[in-house]
Amino acid sequence: MAKGNVSREEMFGKLLGSFKGTGDPIKAMFEWLTEEMMESEMVEKLGAEKYERSANRKGVRAGSRSKPRRWDTRLGTLSLQIPKPRSGGYVPSFLERGKRSEKALCSVVMEAFVQGVSTRKMEKVVQAFGIKDISAGQVSRFCEELDEKVKIFLSRRLVGRYPYVWVDALYEKVREDSAVTNHAVVVAIGVNELGHREILGLMVMPTEDGESWKMFLRSLVERGLSGVKLIISDKHLGIREAVKQIFNNGVLWQRCKVHTMRNILCRVSKSAKQEVANALKTIFAQASRKKAEGEARRVINEFDQRFPEAMKTLEDSLDEVLTFYRFPQEHWKKISSTNPLERLNRETRRRTRVVGVFPTTNSCLRLVGMVLLEQHEDWITQTYMDSEKLTELYADDGKIEVVPPKEQRSTVGINLLPPLKPMRELVMV
């Protein structure tokens, strides 16, 4: 039987009217959409509509599954009546879709339930997701799948050269031995020689000190990190010494100008912060390092009497914060601060804020690792810097003058001399 033509406006009006009377119209609309998608996929699979006689039919229906399929979504828990063909089987295509980071977030919440950690708080989070209850089997299934993906991602071989590397740490609360402690989540990103950004490494450490930084940087080198010209970071405890010990003398360190300005401004009165901030910005707007140093001297002389501690901080950090001037001007804006990494940290905190306290270190590594994996997959298809400028950074590396064979040597500009006559033998008398 042919269906009558219904305009889009009429269909929307009918749907809206039917959903308005439900307790959750959005959820009801989503349930209707899933039913329509399953019906459409069954028609495609069987080659004919329900009750339709057609020579193209490839199978027949056999009702629906005896037990409804539970599906936990961000809109709540749905009960799906999945249609069943008489042969071949059918699984809706949308059941296994969804962002892996959202699965990671759900797995953290589920693991918290199993571990008995922050139960009251986690119940509110689960209710916000609309999920009714959680089983230990779901926890194990999610965790095994995601842990393996994070492990493969964080242990992959780093291929090629990475001239610029940004390093930073953020802190997350983790429960250990019935106590909640702050753990440093250390992240490194880099730009490869082709101009693409990559997530290089991630490590969750109980403390942020020199030995921890050495361990983290050494792990990157062991996985193949090479060709590093500049490391950009805040002045973390022990990081500069770690860079010197793990890398050779050719690797430079850039102290983040944004963090440096914050350190200076916290020593300035509130009424003068804007004035001093504007003066500091002129330092980094200069066209060369020499001019930047001259501008810094002028700023120090101007404010030294009013804010001696702030100007002392500027003077002490000047050499560290102007390292970026030794690199191509096109890169200055991106390599003078850790802003590229700070944006990634904000996105990570947005996800981890929902959890609050992680039940274990592994659960923290799992969620942050999946967030970074998603970002990495987006980055590797985008050009962040010009590859030609990056390749030029290695122009003077290992230059060896190769002498061509005699038949390939150029004789341009050389006056060819006639062959010398053989010398007479010396006769001893």
Dump pLDDT digits (tens) for 125-162. Answer: 555 555 555 555 556 566 667 788 889 999 999 999 99
Are 167 and 250 in a shared domain? yes
Distance CA 369, CA 199 (A): 10
Are 248 and 172 in a shared domain? yes
> Which candidate, 125, 37, 120, places its Cα nearest to that of 83?
37
| Mean pLDDT of all residues in 14-31 | 74
Distance CA 396, CA 383 (A): 25
Distance CA 21, CA 28 (A): 10
Q: Does 380 reside within a domain?
A: yes
Are 227 and 349 in a shared domain? yes
Check residue 139 and give its pLDDT: 60
Q: Total domain count for the chain?
A: 2
Lowest mean pLDDT: which of 15-29, 36-50, 377-391? 15-29
More confident residue, 351 or 4: 351
Q: What is the mean pLDDT of the chain?
A: 80
Taking only the tens place, the pLDDT of each residue in 199-251 is 999 999 988 888 999 999 999 999 999 999 999 999 887 888 888 889 877 79
Q: Does 26 reside within a domain?
A: yes
Taking only the tens place, the pLDDT of each residue in 82-116 is 888 888 778 787 775 555 555 665 666 655 644 44
Which domain does 154 fall in, by range?
A: 150-256+338-389
Taking only the tens place, the pLDDT of each residue in 286-319 is 999 999 999 999 999 999 999 999 999 999 999 9
Check residue 421 and give its pLDDT: 43
Q: Does 96 reside within a domain?
A: no
Q: CATH number for the domain including 381?
A: 3.30.420.10
Q: Does 361 reside within a domain?
A: yes
| Whether pLDDT at 389 is above 60 | yes
Task: Say what the pTM is.
Answer: 0.67
